[in-house]
A and B are shown apart, each in its own frame.
Chain A
Amino acid sequence: MRATRQLIGLALALGLVTYPVTGGDLRDLYFGEALYHAYQGQYFDALQRLDTELAQYHVLDEPQLDTLHYHINEAEFSVGDFELDYRMHQRAGRAIKAVLEGAVDDAVRNEAAFRLARIHFQKGQLDDALQALARIKGTVPEEIKGDLEFLRANVYMATGQPGEAVKLLAQLKSDERLAGFVAYNLGIALLQDGRPQEAIEQLDKAGQLPASDPAGLAIRDKSNLVLGTMLFESGDFDRARQSLDRVHLEGPFSNQALLRAGWAEASAKQYDRALVRWNILVDREPTDAAVQEVILAVPHAYASLNLHGRAALLYGRALEIFSNQIVRVDASIRSVREGQFLNALIREESREDETWVIRLRNLPDAPETYYLMELMASHDFQTALHNYLDLEDLRSRFIAWKTSLDAFDDIIRLRGQNYEPLLPQVDAQFRELDSRIRLQLEQRKHLAERLQAMLTAPRPDYLATAEEQTAGERIARIENQFGNFNDPESLALRRRAAHLRGALTWRLETEYNDRLTAAYVHLNELKAPLDALNQRYDAFVRMRQAATHSYVGYDVQITRLRERLDEALQRVDVLIARQGHMIETVAINQLEARRERLTAQQTEARFGVADSYDRATRAQSDAGGH
């Protein structure tokens, strides 16, 4: 039962795939940029971008006018996804809660509740997951229906309600992507519900489902492996062998399946048939635990067939293999202790694709990572390993940021040196320009007011030309000069002056409307150059402000940031050391456990050699005697 239980443990998480963010056409470039980083696994950058965008969005007066508005729910969901991917479980879900509490329609609220439940489930907060699931009411978006029920069933299984999970899973019509997981989990739920016979039948179905993608194939293989193990444990060797034989020979479970199928045959005393499976396995990677088991099982099978000479030879080979492997494990332990493992892990080029863990072996002085494969595949170790890499990444960022702060200081200093001698002169010129512009604006304003007043109270004299004004003044002078004389000459002059005054007044009065219109036209013509002047004025003010802003007012912020960075750098150094030490310790524990097993196997092989030689010799002498 123990083997079965251990196999089951892995299956729950397998079905929980994180969804790619989907949606309509992209309207917000910065949201698109966050996705661009996330799609490359750069979750820090993705989060930084999206956090900034969301923070800006939430302080807008009219957020509905912002381009992020079209994607706001998707963006809040994505923050949660990115936080989970960046292994920030504590923070994950906060943004989604905000959606849940907001005024949104059923479909959006239910998707938020589903995602929140999924986060809680992944964090192991099962009560919270149940609470979030309980909030789902009304319309559920079609595309999450299957996933939602699958999650619900997983939560039931994790909370010890396998019966409820069985009810859900049995009627869950899922798409091809989930079908294998649903079928497998139903089998496990039945088993947990104390219905082993139904569990066996269900796993038998799960083990024969069509599958095309690697995840589907893996879960099908797993169903067969679990089923085979269960049948083997219940003594049904024939059916055990049948289901183990269905495990894909190239898949991740094939070594275990071959080993167990061989044992199923051997238990039925079909040693020659057991050897068919074991002889496939025995030539595989000698660091694999199943292969190491079979290295001893093969000579045992030959011995059971009374082929003691062959058994002795194979025990001899096993002894050699185990001795070599012990040397390799010792070298690996040494290499981990010397820090080569961590050095290899942080090398950028070693992480380019998914097989990087295996390729670590090719690096000089790196440990035998095959021995660490199973450990490295475990969720906790993966999290620890990625956290270590994240810490290394943060450290490089901190160092780069410190360099940036130094550069900012330089920029600020140089800008200060450049602007400070210039600015007093610029300011003086600006003041002069400013007063001139103000004067012109004042004059224009005055003119405009006068013209406006002249519409209601006509003042033709205001529209006299300079010449007319001079003429008017001269006429007035003449009028004054000769006003009190009554001699004929003076009278003639006064008449002429009155005539001229009349002519001038006539002209001003009759041309008044045309002149007023012309004055308006002229005033409007003044608008364009004045606007241009205003624009230049504004541009100057902006540039003048920009000049000041380019080097004034940063000192406190930079000093504070530098202090925070220094403190963070110290913290990250301590964390890197502790995390690294922990990873090394776990790896060494693993290697030592493997070494212990190898030593035991070496002893068994040594004994096997002696025993088989003994029997071979005896058989030979018996044959000779007869």
Chain B
Amino acid sequence: MRFRSLRTTVLFGLVALALMANGKKSIAAAQLAPSPSPSVALSASPTSAQAGQQVTLTWSSTNATSITLEPSVGPVAAQGATTVRPSQSTTYTVTATGPGGSAHASAQVTITPAPSQAAVRKPSQEEISSDQQQMRGLDEQIQEIKSDSLRMAAELSQLEEKLLYPSGTQVAIFVELAKGDTMRLDAVRLQIDGQLVAHYIYSAKELQALRKGGVQRIYVGNVATGEHKLDVLVDGKLEGGADFSRTGQFTFRKEVKPKLVGLTLAGPRSGNTPITLGDW
């Protein structure tokens, strides 16, 4: 569309030059005859546009010595085209004046609302709705596979528990931060009966989850029934950036049922016990 209007403009330019060359002859001839009345024509393309969008005005005239295109353009050649970018609906008027009088022609450009990002960039409505339909169709299938996956995950975790951590020997250790504690927990190290069982280094995301009240299952393993020694080492940073370390020694008793051990950690400045062991 735009190429076509450019080509038209170039064509009009050439035609205008030819007419101007012819015009000289006519003026010489006209000296002998009464001056003919001028005539003029104006067209706009497109006739309706969005505010700020380019509109091409094309005009041609005969028997005119001066041509004015208003508003905002001013004096123009006898034939030609120009572009305008009206921000509101405008009636353009071309006035051709010659020895034989003057003539007018008008063209109206109607402005639809200002261009929005979406209006100029989004794919067509049909494309959108077919894309959306496709998205939704797939979405349902995805939800189904998610449901199936959750069911499989539940069965697998049961199987894993039975095979690897039977209840008779299972021990699970959990870590939480004391309510409202703001210490920066870096790492937790756990030993059961002198054996290192977990050494966990926390990411910012995990620390944030702990601060919000989440509880981390840091270790699941197996121990025999009876008393066991648990050594806990906590590394972290204070608000000022200084490092700190805390250790705690505890004993827990494993019975025949699964054993849950909860460790509540608190920063040195909170006034709470740094490491508390709770039984569930």
Contacts and interface: CB of A to CB of B under 8 A. Distances in A.
Contacts of B140: 90
B51 interface: yes
Interface in A579-626: 579, 582, 585-586, 589-590, 592-594, 597, 599-600, 603-604, 606-608, 611
Give the residue among B6, B147, B214 with the most A Cβ atoms within 10 A: B214
B196 interface: no
A391 B143 CA distance: 10
B3 A603 contact: yes
A568 interface: yes
A289 B147 CA distance: 40
B33 interface: no
A171 interface: no
Does more than half of chain B's interface fall in helix, strand or loop, or is it mixed? Answer: helix
A48 B157 contact: yes
B48 to A, nearest CB: 13
B13 to A, nearest CB: 9
A233 B113 CA distance: 6
B155 interface: yes
B23 interface: no
A254 B5 CA distance: 34
B83 A607 contact: yes
Interface in B199-221: 205-206, 208-210, 212-217
8 contacts: A2-B116, A33-B215, A40-B208, A87-B143, A256-B116, A394-B146, A404-B160, A586-B131
Interface in B226-280: 256, 260, 262, 280
B209 A36 contact: yes
Nearest to B1: A600
B131 A589 contact: yes
A174 to B, nearest CB: 24
A29 B262 contact: yes
B174 A384 contact: no
A414 to B, nearest CB: 12
Contacts of B156: 401, 404-405, 561
Given A387-B139, A390-B146, A603-B6, A260 B114 contact: yes
Given A88-B146, A401-B153, A568-B145, 6 more contacts: A32-B174, A543-B168, A572-B145, A578-B138, A607-B2, A607-B9
A47 B115 contact: no
A20 B212 CA distance: 9
Interface in A492-548: 539, 542-543, 546
Given A48-B150, A90-B140, A561-B152, A293 B157 contact: no
B152 A29 contact: no
Contact of A546 (B117, B120, B168, B213): B168
Given A33-B217, A90-B140, A90-B143, A2 B3 contact: no
A229 B117 CA distance: 13
Interface in A79-102: 86-91
A88 B142 CA distance: 9
A611 B82 contact: yes
Contacts of B150: 44, 47-48, 51
A589 B123 contact: yes
Interface in A99-121: none
Contacts of B168: 542-543, 546
B119 interface: yes
Contact of B2 (A21, A38, A47, A603): A603
Interface stretch (A362-370, A435-443, A447-455, A549-557): A549-557
**Most chain-A CB neighbours within 10 Å: which of B118, B142, B152, B169?**
B142
Contact of A408 (B143, B159, B172, B280): B159
B154 interface: yes
A267 B146 contact: no
Contacts of B2: 599-600, 603-604, 607
A412 B132 CA distance: 48
Contact of B83 (A260, A398, A611): A611
Contact of A91 (B3, B87, B147): B147
B87 to A, nearest CB: 4
A330 to B, nearest CB: 16
Interface string A378-412: 00100110010011001001100100110010011
A266 B162 contact: no
A3 to B, nearest CB: 4
Given A7-B116, A39-B214, A604-B2, A380 B135 contact: yes
Given A582-B134, A582-B135, A26 B72 contact: no
B170 to A, nearest CB: 11
B163 interface: yes
Q: How large is the interface on B (under 10, 10 to 19, 20 to 34, 35 or more residues)?
A: 35 or more
Contacts of B169: 546
B114 A232 contact: yes
Contacts of B123: 589-590, 592-593
Given A232-B114, A564-B152, A267 B88 contact: yes
Most buried by A among B119, B147, B213, B280: B213
A289 B120 contact: yes
Contacts of B209: 35-37, 39-40
Interface in B119-134: 119-123, 127, 131-132, 134
B22 interface: no
A616 to B, nearest CB: 13
A549 B118 CA distance: 63
Given A44-B153, A87-B143, A579-B138, A593 B51 contact: no
A25 interface: yes
Interface string B3-14: 101100100000
A391 B145 CA distance: 9
B54 interface: yes
Contacts of B155: 557, 561
Contact of A289 (B114, B117, B172, B280): B117
A592 to B, nearest CB: 8
A1 B152 CA distance: 51
B157 A52 contact: yes
Contact of B215 (A36, A48, A599): A36
Contacts of A603: 2-3, 6
A67 interface: yes
Contact of A32 (B115, B121, B143, B214): B214
Contacts of B1: 600
A228 to B, nearest CB: 10
B98 interface: no
Given A2-B116, A550-B163, A568 B148 contact: yes
Given A235-B88, A267-B88, A564-B152, A6 B208 contact: no
Interface string A33-74: 101111110001001100110010000000000010000000
Contacts of A21: 213
Given A394-B146, A539-B225, A603-B2, A267 B160 contact: no
Contacts of A445: none
A144 B136 CA distance: 31
B78 to A, nearest CB: 13
B120 A597 contact: yes
Nearest to A381: B135
A574 to B, nearest CB: 9
Nearest to A265: B87
A33 B280 CA distance: 14
Interface in B84-117: 85, 87-88, 112-117
Among A387, A539, A543, find the residue whose CB has the most chain B CB atoms closer than 10 A. A387
A266 B163 contact: no
Contact of B210 (A6, A7, A36, A300): A36
Contacts of B54: 296, 604, 607
Nearest to A264: B87
